[in-house]
Amino acid sequence: MSATIIDGRQIAAQMREEIKAETEKLIREHGVTPGLVTILVGENPASVSYVTAKQKASKELGFYSVQDSRPADISEADLLALVDGYNKDPRIHGILVQLPLPKHIDENKVLYAMDPDKDVDGFHPVNVGRLMIGEAKFLPCTPAGIQQLLIRSGTAIEGAEVVVVGRSNIVGKPIANILLQKKEGANATVTVCHTRTRDIASHTRRADILIVAAGFPNAVTGDMVKKGAVVIDVGVNRVGEKPSSTVPGKMVPILKGDVDFDAVRERASAITPVPGGVGPMTITMLMFNTLKSAKGAAGVD
Ligand SMILES: NC(=O)c1ccc[n+]([C@@H]2O[C@H](COP(=O)([O-])OP(=O)(O)OC[C@H]3O[C@@H](n4cnc5c(N)ncnc54)[C@H](OP(=O)(O)O)[C@@H]3O)[C@@H](O)[C@H]2O)c1
């Protein structure tokens, strides 16, 4: 068996079309334009490229987009005041503070200073709590993207045995929580594995849906996967460099997931590739959350 590829680029493009159409409708019928601010502190190249991609996506969708770049030596108090200003700005429905922040700034303080109703990353404790009790407002973007990949690829989630490898606050725990909820697109039986789990393979081999976010290549090998399982590979590992196929003379990273793709695809019924699986969904879900926030502000469901 060779698994079907779950194409994250295609599903993300389809969702962006939907978001764009809904944005146009919101502007036309309610005069509300979704507004997203991305706050960048310093010039970390990876952060610059993430923020650029978020701004590009938000502009393409017709959002009101603000890129607010501050020097790396901005004081914590000034950054907190900046966030507070956007909390009060009615044109802004989503605030994204790009992490990591410089060491002299307490990231949690900045996160807690954000209005939970504008926390489109879904990391504020109020939003974590809302998810836990089944009253989610904003789902964190990467796990929300994983759920959409499962739903839109036609994977049966209800009643499925889901095994998650990894328990981070940004991927493992929230995706476990999302799929556990008594809701459509969820209702799974979920097991979460981590570094203290005994005999991980005994768990992964039971999975109808296996979600891997362990943070290193080949964390899951072919023998750890049940025949016919659906495998979502969240991992992004730089394993080298290669010449760019579009820009002569430029080197681009070679990316690998956390799953031994070639071996696992022979056993799975469907699998996400890296790149082109979970990655394209993350920014799309940020846009989805910003639109949702704007709809809430406009009193639209
Ligand atoms: N595509 C995207 O948009 C996206 C977004 C976020 C992350 N990622 C990628 O997803 C991966 C995971 O990210 P993360 O932030 O969740 O990573 P993380 O914070 O490093 O967490 C890794 C988790 O995996 C567990 N783990 C590590 N080694 C293990 C092993 N041998 N067996 C079982 N569990 C093990 C750890 O367990 P302990 O808790 O016991 O240490 C931890 O819970 C990374 O490759 C990251 O680059 C991709």
Assigned token pair, 131: 């998810």
- Measure 164 CA to ligand 1 centroid, in angstroms: 10
292 has a pLDDT exceeding 80: yes
Mean pLDDT across the stretch 282-297?
A: 98
- The whole-number pLDDT of residue 162 equals 99
> Is 171 touching ligand 1 by the criterion CB < 6 Å?
yes
Q: Where are the CATH 3.40.50.720 domain residues in the chain?
A: 141-279
Statement: residue 1 has pLDDT above 90: no
Out of 98, 147, 148, 181, which one is annotated catalytic? Answer: 98
Quote the CA–CA distance of 30 and 300 in Å, as a whole number. 9
Residues 24-50 as b or e (16 or more Cβ within 10 Å = b): eebbeeeebbbbbbbbbbbebeebeeb
pLDDT band at 104 (very low <50, low <70, confident <90, very high): very high
Residue 16 has pLDDT above 80, yes or no: yes
Q: State if residue 217 touches ligand 1 by the CB under 6 angstroms criterion.
A: no
Which CATH entry fits the domain spanning 141-279: 3.30.70.270, 3.90.950.10, 3.40.50.720, 3.40.50.2300?
Answer: 3.40.50.720
Q: Is the CB of 12 under 6 A from ligand 1?
A: no
How far is the centre of ligand 1, averaged over its atoms, from the C-alpha of 100 (Å)? 16
Residues 60-74: tens digit of each pLDDT: 999 999 999 999 999
Q: What is the model's pLDDT at position 143?
A: 98
Express as a percent the part of the chain with pLDDT over 70: 100
How far away, in angstroms, is 165 Cα from ligand 1 center? 8
Whether 250 shows a pLDDT value over 80: the answer reads yes
Catalytic site includes residue 54: yes
| Tokens standing for residue 22 | 């809904």
For the domain made up of 29-116, the CATH class stated in words is: alpha beta
Minimal-distance CA residue to ligand 1 atom 1: 279
Residue 199 has pLDDT above 90, yes or no: yes
Give me the pLDDT at residue 174, please. Answer: 98
Q: Distance, CA 213 to ligand 1 centroid (Å)?
A: 4
CA of 64 to the centre of ligand 1 (A): 33
Q: Is 106 a catalytic residue?
A: no
CA distances from 207 to 52, 230, 235, 241, 243 (A): 37, 8, 18, 34, 38
Start-end ranges of CATH 3.40.50.10860 in the chain?
Answer: 29-116
Torsion of CA 255, 164, 116, 112, to 10 degrees: -80
Q: Is-catalytic flag, 181?
A: no
| Best mutation site among 163, 164, 167, 221 for ligand 1 pocket (most ligand atoms within 8 Å of CB) | 167
Decide: 93 and 86 in contact? Cβ < 8 Å.
Answer: no
Q: Which of 121, 208, 258, 260 is catalytic?
A: 121
Mean pLDDT of 133-154: 98
* pLDDT for residue 301: 75
- Determine which residue's CA is closest to atom 14 belonging to ligand 1: 168
